[in-house]
Amino acid sequence: MRSTRAASAIERLNNRAETKQYSMLRTSDERFVLTQRVAGMPMERLSEALELDEFVAFVNAYGPQKPKRVSKLDVQFEKNMRNKKNAEDGGAG
């Protein structure tokens, strides 16, 4: 099923947006269109008809994005790199 990847992308978008307002249409030529449903308004097309890979990339980039998870080790590494750079720039003065 080609549309499984597209449906998963829509589900992720709805989770990021914390709504269920986004959906997709599948055209007769096997392409996909992102749509938005808002109460009291007609359905709005948010994209042109796209091939599967293009559609998934478009949906993944659309709407709010989840902040990147950062571990404690990543934070410590960044801190160490800043300290090292500061020491090299002006530590022996």
Reported pTM? 0.66
- Domain chopping of the chain, boundaries: 3-66
Higher-pLDDT residue of 68, 25: 25
Q: What is the pLDDT of residue 93?
A: 46
- Name the band, by pLDDT with cuts 50, 70 and 90, for residue 2: low
What letter would DSSP give residue 49? -
Q: What is the pLDDT of residues 5-52, one digit of tens each?
A: 999 999 999 998 888 899 999 999 999 999 999 888 888 999 999 999
For residue 51, count other CB atoms closer than 10 A to its CB.
Answer: 13
